[in-house]
Amino acid sequence: MMYECRCPNDGKMLAHIARPPLSDLRYVHLCPCGRRAEGKVHVEAITKRIIAQVECPCGKVTTKALGYLVTIKCRKCKAVIQF
């Protein structure tokens, strides 16, 4: 499924991207103990990687890289969109 990245000012389409926007990203992990735990999704500031971190009630912490942050600049209004 492809997602559209649009300019917030005029609604002009800037790109088609295969990954959902940051606000829609969720990560559910099945722990070896048998429980399902939902993780937190955040962006590393230095490397611009999107990271999911899950802490199971049993104490096990799992970290997984989900992708990279995409930054697009609108040619017309110069707005910067992070997708």
The band of 2, judged by pLDDT with boundaries at 50, 70 and 90, is: confident
User: What CA–CA distance (Å, rounded) separates 83 from 72?
Assistant: 8
Q: What is the pLDDT of residue 11?
A: 87
- Give residue-wise pLDDT tens across range 32-79: 889 999 999 999 988 889 999 999 989 999 999 988 888 899 888 888
Reported residue count of the chain is 83
What is the residue extent of each domain of the chain? Answer: 3-82
pTM metric for this prediction: 0.71
Q: Specify the 3-state DSSP secondary structure of 22.
A: helix
User: What CA–CA distance (Å, rounded) separates 79 from 53?
Assistant: 30
